[in-house]
Amino acid sequence: MAKLNIVLFEPEIPANTGNIGRTCVATGTRLHLIEPLGFRLNEKALKRAGMDYWKDLDVTTYIDYADFLEKNPGAKIYMATTKAKKTYTEVAYEPDCYIMFGKESAGIPEEILVENQETAIRIPMINDIRSLNLGNSVAIVLYEALRQNHFDHMQLEGDLHRLHWKG
């Protein structure tokens, strides 16, 4: 079973993290938060964005990037950044891989990116745009990884109830 992992490096905006948490619950994805966070995990804005799903979220926090690496040895980590050469569709996501996103104001630090150039990925955009919203970026890349893993463990069909027309 595919069990993907989203990693947020020092997220700053609680609403973004709440939305991402909700997406993780809806997809059976684990969320990893690398401190320092720009908010407290009990903040109202975080809970509001994550709605009542936050209690169902598989979330782990780490005191820093070194702590994250120590507790996830050998993890395959894709680094989402505007500085990557490859797009997010040019890689094959393993069922247990980690996809890291940087903080809203600065992204993933360059010293981390330099060490991980071969797994750095980007979402194509026109030149004049600095970056996409963090929640949108996570959704775009996560759903590509889920698609590549055949949406393993996810409901693929809805149930549309027909309305009766009297015309």
* CATH number for position 53: 3.40.1280.10
pTM (two decimals): 0.89
Annotated binding site: 102, 123, 131
38 within some domain: yes
The contacts found for 151-157 with CB under 8 angstroms, 24 or more apart, are: 152/1, 152/2, 152/95, 153/1, 153/2, 153/28, 154/27, 154/28
- For helices 134-148 and 14-27, the axis angle rounded to 10 degrees is 20
Show the domain range for 126: 5-148
Mean pLDDT of 133-158: 90
Unique residue bearing structure tokens 């569709």: 89
Q: How confident is the model at residue 20 (pLDDT cuts 50, 70, 90)?
A: very high
Residue 61 within a domain: yes
Q: Which residue numbers belong to the known binding site for S-adenosyl-L-methionine?
A: 102, 123, 131
Residue 73 in any domain: the answer is yes
Cβ-in-10-Å burial (0-12, 13-18, 19+) of 32 comes to buried
* End-to-end alpha carbon distance in the chain: 48
Number of domains in the chain: 1
Per residue in 47-61, pLDDT (tens digit) is 665 556 778 899 999
Tell whether 123 is covered by a domain.
Answer: yes
In-domain check, residue 141:
yes
The reply to whether 56 falls in a domain is: yes
Residue 30: its pLDDT value, please? 97
**Strand, helix or coil at 98?**
strand
Query: How much is the pLDDT for 48?
Result: 63
Residue 92, domain member (yes or no):
yes
Q: What is the pLDDT of residues 65-115, one digit of tens each?
A: 999 999 999 999 999 999 999 999 999 999 999 999 999 999 999 999 999
The answer to whether residues 109 and 16 touch, using CB atoms and an 8 Å cutoff, is no
Instruction: Identify whether 15 is part of a domain.
Output: yes
157 pLDDT band, cuts 50/70/90, is confident
Residue pair 81/120 in contact (Cβ under 8 Å)? The answer is yes
Query: What is the dihedral angle through the alpha carbons of 76, 81, 139, 147, rounded to the nearest 10 degrees?
Result: -50
Mean pLDDT taken over the chain: 89
